[in-house]
Amino acid sequence: MSVAVTKSVSLQGIDGEIVEIEADVAKGLPGYLLLGLPDAALNESRDRIRSAVVNSGLHWPQNKITVSMSPAWLPKSGSGFDLPISMAILTASGQLNPNQIDNTLFIGELSLEGFLRPIRGIIPMLIAAMKNGITRALVPEANQAEASLVEGIEIYSANNLAQVIRGINGQETLQKVLEVGFSQSENHLDISQVAGQQMAKFGLEVAATGGHHLLMIGPPGTGKTMLAERIPSILPQLDNSQAREVAAIHSVAGTLANRLGNKNGFDKTPPFIAPHHTTTTVAMVGGGGKVIRPGACSLAHHGVLFIDEAPECGVGILDSLRQPLESGIVEITRAIGTLHFPARFMLVLAANPCPCGKFSGKGRGCQCTSLQVRRYLNRLSGPLLDRIDLRLKVETPSRLELADTNDRESSGTVRARVEMAQSIARERFSDFPFKLNSQIPSELLRTKFKAEPKVMAALHNMIDREEISARGFHKLLRICWTIADLRQVGIPRTTELETALELRTANEIAA
């Protein structure tokens, strides 16, 4: 047989496109031609594949070899095509039975010695194969932990090319990857470890219930970071669909091993991503030159993105989050096309009240001028602050609060209330595609999900006095609904509005 076909996957963001690889071994001068918009890594595959085939004890055809990857218009990148290309060439040269590779997906990079090396993005590749009716896949042995998270497709793993050939020829039984699925792990960070800060804890509970974004302003050492790190412990565990989506993003980014710390499967705890304030825009939202990777806001999908010392971030870093905060998607446009990464996260910012951090209005030794204070907090732009729902003051806990360890609620107790309130919201939104109060469209807040007339009138008066923007009006109303769900009342009342305004008391500091 002079022509053979194998299948692999090309990733565009976290979406996979099936690629058919045709190899033609014909008479003529020995040569190797690769077609189908390959990148530099793919163009280098000729020497890797040839050395791997020869060092695995197989025969490299001394003929004219033409490899075509279709669809031809789709750019292909990465070294994961080494294995499928080698399988197509070996089949076309008569060294493999074509019936044994039918409807099988091959993924893997080859070393010069013929070993299979792991690649990124195994999970979205396998999901794409399953959606396109492919029933069997072969992946590198080092990727089998990731592959075990995918259901509905028969997956085998191998350590080297020679083992793959023996398995296909029936001389050896390849190792089948067993489905592991997802697990629930215990979080060692508990909200009961935070002394005092009752109002801030309630703000975290409201944020976790409704998926609201949060800003905490307070002096250093008051517990802002401790509070933020414990938000995942009060969030409900991810369901299987959410966990699979998070796993796919981390698989593409190459950070999935951090969430596969045990043998019980993928951790269903919502992700907590905390980039340093010196990070770059590309690291925050994703991007890159030849290989585009998801950024911190996509890695925090269905979880928490925490940025400490937010005013210290470089110009434009925080404002780059404005689009994903609104749409839940990051769009990265390059010459090869536009890629989309999901990025529906809870944004948590922490900031000092002034450059020295001691400003509180109580005379605690702050030497900053009023101009310095305003300039410092003005680094958080107005358009960004307008997208932040809750703005909390975090004061230094008293000596009594530090000493008192009684009656501190655990994360489990708070999480139970959060889950109860979210179930109320889901029942209310049963006829709509959204589940959280923060996702209610603005038009529905004015028609279907109004608060009490007194609340609506008060909010309209605040707009007339230019105390809030139209976006602020809708965000306050969403917060009112979340507080109403926590208090198990049917409709937001004036008491819920008062509490919502209290949860935005840091406005006067940031003003």
Q: How far are the Cα atoms of 161, 171, 317, 334 from residue 291, in angstroms, in the given order?
A: 26, 38, 21, 11
Which range, of 123-127, 167-171, 340-344, 396-400, averages the lowest pLDDT? 396-400
| List of E strands, 13-151 | 15-26, 31-35, 64-70, 104-106, 109-110, 116-117, 136-140
Residue 264: pLDDT over 60: no
pLDDT of residue 12: 86
- Helix, strand and coil percent figures for the chain, each rounded to 5: 40, 20, 40
Q: What is the DSSP letter of 61?
A: P
- Which pLDDT tens digit goes with each residue over 74-112? 888 888 999 999 999 999 998 888 888 888 999 999 999
Residue 266: pLDDT over 80: no
CA distance 331 to 348: 22
Angle at which helix 470-486 crosses helix 198-210, to 10 degrees, equals 100
pLDDT of residue 273: 95
273's CB contacts (< 8 A; 6+ apart) are: 296, 297, 299, 300, 303, 304, 305, 306, 345
If DSSP codes are grouped into helix, strand and coil, which group holds residue 342? strand
Which range, of 10-14, 152-156, 453-457, averages the lowest pLDDT? 10-14
pLDDT of residue 292: 85
CA angle 471, 473, 479 (to 5 degrees): 100
AA identity, residue 435: K
pLDDT of residue 370: 83
**What is the pLDDT of the chain when averaged over all its residues?**
89
Q: What is the DSSP letter of 118?
A: P
- Which pLDDT tens digit goes with each residue over 282-340? 999 998 777 788 999 999 999 999 999 999 998 889 999 998 998 899 998 877 778 88
State mean pLDDT over 217-224.
Answer: 89
* Domains observed in the chain: 3-176 (3.30.230.10), 191-510 (3.40.50.300)
CA 462 to chain centre: 36
Residue 509: pLDDT over 60: no
Q: Other CB atoms closer than 10 Å to residue 47's CB: what's the count?
A: 11
pLDDT of residue 182: 67
Q: Other CB atoms closer than 10 Å to residue 422's CB: what's the count?
A: 22
Residue with tokens 């020679």: 162
pLDDT of residue 271: 93
Higher pLDDT, 386 or 162: 162
Residue 107's closest CA among 69, 140, 71? 140
Residue 43, token pair as written in the block: 């163009």
> By percentage, how much of the chain surpasses pLDDT 90?
60
pLDDT of residue 111: 95
pLDDT of residue 362: 56
CA 293 to chain centre: 11
Residue 213's closest CA among 346, 407, 35? 346
Residue 23's closest CA among 5, 37, 39? 5
Strand partners, 236: none
Residue 399: pLDDT over 60: yes
